[in-house]
Structure 1
């Protein structure tokens, strides 16, 4: 199985990053303003887009303020069944965010698109958390 791995540091405490990953207000601030759902374990995030396929993610883990995991239940191609895990760690007054999107059957097709998209999304997460102003990647 293949994995997408990204990391970046955010000038904010882990609790603020965790809130951006686990609350509707937070997810709407960096991902998509039309998002709906709950960041609680057993909840579901729904990300509808005007010009992209809809994504749905089950929330499978939520350990404040260090770890969040989602499992894809709806999306294009071979993305269904993959898992995105965010690990948060305080480092030098910032938060190191490590994203591992695992369970891909290979590195073709949607794997490459998702790799690029996660890079963009994480930069929007950083901008939102650091400024407190909406910085959505998608409309």
Structure 2
């Protein structure tokens, strides 16, 4: 199995970072504005991605598997790009001085493919959007995220 891993430090209390990862409003503030669903264990969350003109370019459905305040958020993808189905995203959190450290992992890709490289770069951009949201109150969720190639 192949994994994507990132580490980012956010100068904010753990609880504030957790809320950005574990709530619909939080996710909409850093990943994609079009986020709906139920952020509870077993609840399904739907994220849709659009161009600035409003055209939908992709969507994902995932189930919240772990919502452990101030420690961990874990999602399992049930719909979306075929490469994502059955994969999971984990956000492990811990405090280190003034920083909350987020250890991000998108786990269990079946193989190393070009799309995984694209997603790794996009996750890095969205982790910086998370940092910006928590530290300043304003993230850069889709459709206002940095575009990196012709796939977004």
Q: Give the TM-score, by structure 2 length.
A: 0.86
Residue of structure 1 in register with 2:53 after alignment: none
Residue of structure 1 in register with 2:78 after alignment: 73
Is 1:117 the counterpart of 2:129 in the alignment?
no
Is 1:18 the counterpart of 2:10 in the alignment?
no
After superposition, give the CA deviation of every residue in 1:86-133 in whole Å (9 maximum; x if it has no partner).
Answer: 001001211000011111111113211211111011000000001123
The correspondence of residues 80-99 of structure 1 with structure 2, limited to 5 A, is 80-99=85-104
The partner residue of 1:57 within 62, 77, 96 is 62
Segments of 5+ residues of structure 1 without an aligned counterpart are none
Q: Is the 8 A contact 2:89 2:106 kept in 1?
A: yes
Tell me the CA shift for residue 53 of structure 1. Answer: 1.4
CA–CA separation in structure 1 for the residues paired with 2:25 and 2:133: 11
- Superposition RMSD on alpha carbons, in Å? 1.2
Could you list the runs of 4 or more consecutive aligned residues of structure 1 that deviate by over 4 angstroms after TM superposition? none
CA–CA separation in structure 2 for the residues paired with 1:49 and 1:93: 33
CA–CA separation in structure 2 for the residues paired with 1:38 and 1:79: 20
Aligned residue pair count:
138
Q: Is the 8 A contact 2:28 2:141 kept in 1?
A: no
CA–CA separation in structure 1 for the residues paired with 2:36 and 2:70: 22
CA–CA separation in structure 2 for the residues paired with 1:114 and 1:68: 19
Q: Give the TM-score, by structure 1 length.
A: 0.94
